[in-house]
């Protein structure tokens, strides 16, 4: 939001002006991807439609919302699969939109799509090194750990909440579960 737009207004946390929603309702209700009706990622899709129409999306830090979140692995992985598919699909819809937005948002969208690819490439390269030479790929491990710590530290400092350092543990979930899932998506 600091850069002029929110790229995905999450469903249970989003609120729209009725006039804006009516303007885009036909496009929103007829959401297709590769010729088939699409029933996932509707929040991201609606956000992109809003931005394409020249409307603004904003973050309101005082808003309070509640939603249901997965509490078991199966439903969590199904949620992540839906999110990965909508991210990839709606990135294609947003490409023409990005030049009119702040450059940081372009960098963020590229990072959301290329980040997992680069992480997967790093992991595969490290595994290949280990398999072929029986040596631990310390530089790969160090780079992944460094990038994780830097990213979590920036968030912890910007929010002034040390709990975000714990998000570095998500890297293991990302590598072991989410990367294969995103490849499948």
Q: What are the DSSP calls for 130-178, one per residue?
A: HHHH----HHHHHHHHHHHHHHHHHHHHHHT-GGGGGGGGHHHHIIIII
Whether pTM exceeds 0.85: no
Per-residue pLDDT of the chain (185 residues; tens, 9 = 90+): 777 788 888 877 888 899 999 999 888 878 777 777 777 778 888 888 999 898 988 888 888 888 888 999 999 999 999 888 888 888 888 888 888 888 888 888 888 888 888 888 999 999 999 999 999 999 989 988 898 898 889 888 988 889 989 988 888 888 889 989 988 88
Distance (Å, rounded) from C-alpha 66 to C-alpha 120?
Answer: 33
Q: Give the up-direction half-sphere exposure of residue 58: CA atoms within 13 A in the CB hemisphere.
A: 8
Domain ranges of the chain: 1-71, 102-184
């Amino acid at each position: 939001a600091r850069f002029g737009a929110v790229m995905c207004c999450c469903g249970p946390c989003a609120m729209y002006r009725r006039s804006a929603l009516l303007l885009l309702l036909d496009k929103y209700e007829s959401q297709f991807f590769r010729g088939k009706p699409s029933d996932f990622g509707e929040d991201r899709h609606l956000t992109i439609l809003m931005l394409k129409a020249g409307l603004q999306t904003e973050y309101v830090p005082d808003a309070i919302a509640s939603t249901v979140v997965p509490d078991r692995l199966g439903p969590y992985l199904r949620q992540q699969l839906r999110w990965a598919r909508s991210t990839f699909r709606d990135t294609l819809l947003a490409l023409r939109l990005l030049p009119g937005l702040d450059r940081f948002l372009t960098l963020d969208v590229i990072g959301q799509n290329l980040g997992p690819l680069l992480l997967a490439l790093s992991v595969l390269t490290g595994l290949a090194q280990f398999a072929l030479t029986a040596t631990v790929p310390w530089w790969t491990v160090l780079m992944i750990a460094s990038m994780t710590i830097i990213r979590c530290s920036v968030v912890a400092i910007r929010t002034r909440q040390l709990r975000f350092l714990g998000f570095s543990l998500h890297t293991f979930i990302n590598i072991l579960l989410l990367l294969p899932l995103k490849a499948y998506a």
